[in-house]
């Protein structure tokens, strides 16, 4: 009998946690205008928290400070990266602030926490030589190869996020002035200049795009055969495959974004301009790249200065 009651209580806790999470995600979508990808990440973090709370026979409103510490320690012990842990803590803090503000919980067990700095792991990027080899991998003798070269060139030329790149429409490109209109996190708008090389590849791709559409109408800039929009998942696969062909052991789409920011700063761009092009709301996020360039300067000094 006790076991049945315990099972029922845990199920009720799960339902209550699910309702609270849904309410918070609805608030983030409607009031904050966060993107679907960001909402999915927050939802996954909170679902993980709810599961760990259930294992402790608690719901989200009855977790206390010590239990939050234990949950974070468990996640860290299981190999979570600093960036992942930082996002998890930020998600928890925002969630509990919302619950208290809405009168859904009487206490905030995360009030003592400080969001961990993700700077502990510097971003990985590609060298100029690796970038050049990567860009040459698509086969320009067929339409999909022409598309993929245009995708890679635009990716490296603008530093856009994957979701921003695949979400572009033809009308988002200013073909005359060499710029792209981008709608990033929270539907925030920014305009990013495109270099002449990337713009030329984009223009060369347009006839291939028409052939891929095969007579169909579409606003999407980057399309698959028959007209569907190129997806985030497919772009990930393409970059990993082209990276393998280029002899690059490890590559992610975000490394092209990191490479874009790093090369700008190394060649004298000011931090504020890079922040605007990347679409960072906080310049502190952009400053991580100054750590990368400073480290490279130090490495060069140690390697080449006779009295280093």
Active site residue 234: no
Residues 180-227: pLDDT tens digits? 999 877 678 899 999 999 999 999 999 999 999 999 999 999 999 999
Task: Pick 2-117's CATH classification: 1.10.150.130, 2.40.50.100, 3.30.470.10, 3.40.50.720.
Answer: 1.10.150.130
Residues 96-109: pLDDT tens digits? 999 999 888 888 98
Structure tokens at 250: 């490890």
Give residue 296's pLDDT band: very low, low, confident or very high (50, 70, 90): low
Residues 165-183: pLDDT tens digits? 999 999 999 999 999 999 8
Percent pLDDT > 70 in the chain is 87
Active site residue 257: yes
Report yes or no: 251 and 240 within 8 Å, Cβ to Cβ. Answer: yes
Q: Which of 147, 161, 209, 258 is catalytic?
A: 161
Active site residue 10: no
**In the chain, domain spans:** 2-117, 128-304
Active site residue 185: yes
**Which of 155, 117, 154 has its CA nearest to residue 258?**
155
Which carries the bigger pLDDT value, residue 3 or residue 269?
269
Q: Which residues pair with 174 in a beta bridge?
A: 179
C-alpha–C-alpha distance, residues 57 and 88, integer Å: 21
Tell me the range of 1-5, 54-58, 78-82, 286-290 where mean pLDDT is highest: 54-58
Q: What is the per-residue pLDDT for 4? A: 45
pTM of the model: 0.62
Structure tokens at 112: 């003592």
Q: What is the per-residue pLDDT for 23? A: 93
Active site residue 201: no
Instruction: Based on DSSP, count helices (H) and strands (E) in the chain, helices before strands.
Output: 13, 3
128-304 has CATH 1.10.443.10 classification: yes
């Amino acid at each position: 009998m006790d076991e049945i009651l315990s099972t029922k209580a845990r199920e009720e806790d799960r339902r209550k946690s699910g309702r609270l999470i849904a309410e918070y995600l609805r608030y983030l979508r409607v009031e904050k205008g966060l993107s679907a990808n960001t909402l999915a990440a927050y939802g996954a973090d909170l679902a993980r928290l709810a599961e760990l709370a259930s294992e402790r026979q608690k719901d989200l409103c009855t977790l206390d400070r010590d239990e939050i510490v234990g949950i974070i320690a468990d996640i860290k012990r299981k190999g979570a990266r600093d960036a992942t842990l930082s996002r998890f803590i930020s998600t928890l803090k925002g969630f509990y602030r919302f619950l208290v503000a809405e009168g859904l919980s009487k206490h905030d067990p995360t009030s003592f926490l400080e969001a961990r700095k993700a700077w502990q792991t510097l971003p990985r990027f590609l060298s100029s030589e690796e970038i050049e080899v990567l860009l040459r991998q698509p086969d320009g003798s067929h339409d999909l190869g022409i598309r993929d070269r245009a995708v890679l060139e635009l990716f490296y030329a603008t530093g856009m996020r994957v979701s921003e790149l695949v979400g572009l429409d033809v009308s988002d490109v200013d073909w005359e002035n060499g710029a792209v209109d981008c709608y990033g996190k929270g539907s925030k708008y920014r305009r990013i200049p495109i270099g002449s090389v990337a713009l030329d590849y984009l223009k060369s791709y347009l006839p291939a795009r028409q052939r891929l559409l095969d007579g169909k109408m579409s606003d999407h800039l980057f399309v698959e055969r028959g007209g569907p929009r190129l997806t985030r998942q497919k772009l990930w696969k393409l970059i990993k495959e082209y990276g393998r062909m280029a002899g690059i052991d490890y590559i992610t789409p975000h490394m092209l974004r990191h490479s874009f920011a790093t090369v700008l700063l190394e060649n004298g761009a000011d931090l504020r301009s890079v922040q605007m092009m990347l679409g960072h709301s906080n310049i502190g996020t952009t400053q991580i790249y100054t750590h990368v360039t400073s480290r490279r300067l130090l490495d060069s000094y140690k390697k080449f200065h006779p009295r280093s």
